[in-house]
Amino acid sequence: LRIELGKVAPEIEREFCTKSAQRLFALLENFPTAEAICQASVEQLRQIRYGKKQWPLPMNFIVKMKKLAENSIAHKTGNGSGVVIQSLVRRLIDLRQEIEFLNHQLVLLYKEISDTDSVLTTINGIGLQTAIVLEAYIGDVNRFPTAKQIVAYFGMNPTVSFSGSSVRRSSRLEKRGNGIVRHKL
């Protein structure tokens, strides 16, 4: 999507962020190019709905997108230029819905095999889905004699990088361990 968006609305592609993805998908599903956004009236853009609650696009988002579209240097314009964008957006929306469905199924299946919520959910910031993933990757907790070993197993332990007399660099998390778990955490 980013590659195709770079052809029809490069300024909007640079502004793309996951926080406003639902808004952007709704906009691009209806007006897939900078050219189309420019030609659309503010009222037409206000009629676009997004999210589960079908919110209208916020006015500050519309103004920002209109401004970016008006100053666009897009090289792909005219009839058919946004067809690929619309197709990709529809697929991404479908995939997001499928992910939501699978996450819901994961929780239902967990509740079938366990009468109580995971003890890990008592930790601030750990929801049921994250706890399920952690439990799946930890397996038998007895194979880790200490909490430090679990932290190291997932690569969540901080490390300090220094060598000989060189200046200490800032610490960072170890990049070992399971990437899925690190992403969840």
What predicted TM-score, i.e. pTM, was given to this entire model?
0.71
Reported as a single tens digit per residue, the pLDDT across 91-143 is 999 999 999 999 999 999 998 988 787 888 888 888 888 889 888 888 888 89
Q: What is the mean pLDDT of each run of 10 residues along the chain (185 residues)?
A: 91 81 94 94 96 93 93 84 94 94 92 84 88 88 88 76 62 71 78
DSSP-based three-state secondary structure for 31: coil
Element (H, E) at 7: helix 2-8
DSSP states of 138-170? H-SGGG-SSHHHHHHHTT-SEE----TTSPPPP
Closest residue by Cα to residue 36 from 69, 4, 11, 3 = 69
DSSP 66-99: HHHHHT---S--STTTTHHHHHHHHHHHHHHHHH
Residue type, 166: S
